Amino acid sequence: MAIAAVSISPLGVGISVSEYVAAALRVLEEQDRVRWQLDSMFTTLEGEPEDLFEVIRAMQEAVFDAGAERVGTVIKIDDRRDRSGVRMEDKVKSARDKLGTVP
């Protein structure tokens, strides 16, 4: 299983891009292969690498379908092979535990 951070941004559409973000998020809501979590700058995805790439491509197409003519996509993937079952929330918990903070 891999964890990916993805940011998909339409270019040349003005200052607000929330309608395009919503179009990409609809793709995530309509599928069940990839777990996801939205934050203010990126969306974190969790799943098998081939599923992540397929879903990211569908998200990008949704932004085009929403009217964008140019789209920039940033993807960062953590594909850990030495341990299985590491979830996105486990990574956050590990850092918080080391800080001694509660979420």
CATH label of the domain that carries residue 31? 3.30.70.930
Domain that holds residue 72: 2-99
* Whole-number Å distance between alpha carbons of 70 and 11: 5
Look up the pTM and report it: 0.87
Query: pLDDT grade, residue 85 (50/70/90)?
Result: confident
Please report which residue ranges of 2-87 form alpha helices under DSSP H. 18-29, 49-65
Residues contacting residue 29 through CB under 8 Å, at least 6 positions apart: none
Say whether 38 sits in a helix, a strand or coil: strand
Structural domain count, the chain: 1
Q: What is the pLDDT of residue 59?
A: 98
For 27, counting Cβ atoms within 10 Å of its Cβ (0-12 exposed, 13-18 middle, 19+ buried), the class is: buried
- Other beta carbons within 10 angstroms of residue 55's beta carbon come to 21
Q: What is the pLDDT of residues 31-69, one digit of tens each?
A: 999 999 999 999 999 999 999 999 999 999 999 999 999
